[in-house]
């Protein structure tokens, strides 16, 4: 008995390349680069998050925006602000260069800013790439809580607790102050001034404001310890303690 056998004609063209069989060693090997593709982005995000956390709690680069601290600090300098300096019972000392939030002492109005712009600026400031907030200041501590700070004696010098302050850090040609003042710094507050007295808006300019120009210690962000940029200006910032380090009254 004859049986009809139906034959299918084979396509002579080569079959399309389907790639290696799933599960083969070659397939696993070639799949790895695709998995690694996102690792640089992940690593970058993790590094950025680490730097921002470090900047928020340990040490923050701070871009100097003005000439008020010349010649100690110049416009464009980056200083490293030690945020742990006053975290464990230690308080700012005379001569320390500090960064602080002037809200409530130097600034008494709301600072309006677009939220997106503010976030970008804050991120840039945390990395030392952008100007700090308008409410952040860098000054030198002249008087601490309980100090009697006056200006000026017969030789034009500032006195703290009746003793003249030797201010070798002053900008060349500057007088210690062109404004006279006589204040007892309240406990928990600081009297701060810039090293370039002729161009510094500091405690002297806020004598009539609430707090009398003093800055609350709890508003201090940290102590400026090191100039990190430019490389030619790399150095630590010493804290020359004024001569009047004795009794307060």
Distance, C-alpha 88 to centroid of its chain: 19
Using alpha carbons, select from 54, 137, 55, 58 the residue that is nearest to residue 99: 137
Spell 16-47 as b/e; 16+ CB within 10 A means b: eeeeeeeeeeeeeeeeeeeeeeeeeeeeeeee
- On whether the CB atoms of residues 84 and 121 are closer than 8 A, the answer is no
CB atoms within 10 A of CB 70: 21
Question: Cα(133)–Cα(5) distance, rounded to whole angstroms?
Answer: 88
List active site positions: 68, 139
């Amino acid at each position: 008995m004859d049986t009809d056998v139906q034959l299918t004609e084979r396509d002579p063209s080569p079959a399309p390349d389907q790639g290696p069989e799933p599960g083969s060693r070659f397939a696993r090997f070639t799949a790895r680069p695709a998995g690694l593709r996102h690792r640089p982005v992940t690593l970058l995000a993790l590094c950025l998050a680490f730097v921002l956390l470090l900047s928020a709690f340990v040490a923050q680069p701070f871009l100097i925006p003005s000439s008020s601290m010349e010649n100690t600090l110049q416009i464009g300098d980056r200083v490293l602000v030690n945020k742990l300096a006053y975290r464990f019972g230690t308080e700012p000392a005379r001569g320390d260069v500090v960064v602080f939030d002037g809200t409530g002492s130097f600034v008494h109005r709301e600072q309006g800013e677009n939220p997106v712009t503010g976030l970008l600026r804050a991120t840039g400031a945390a990395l030392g790439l952008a100007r700090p907030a308008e409410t952040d200041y860098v000054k030198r501590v002249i008087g601490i809580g309980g100090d009697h700070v006056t200006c000026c004696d017969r030789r034009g010098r500032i006195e703290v607790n009746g003793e003249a302050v030797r201010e070798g850090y002053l900008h060349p040609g500057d007088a210690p102050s062109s404004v006279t003042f006589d204040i007892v710094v309240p406990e928990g507050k600081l009297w701060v001034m810039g090293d370039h007295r002729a161009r510094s808006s500091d405690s002297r300019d806020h004598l009539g404001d609430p707090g009398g120009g003093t800055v609350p210690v709890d508003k201090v962000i940290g102590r400026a310890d090191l100039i990190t940029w430019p490389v030619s200006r790399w150095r630590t910032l010493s804290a020359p303690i004024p001569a009047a380090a004795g009794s307060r009254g």
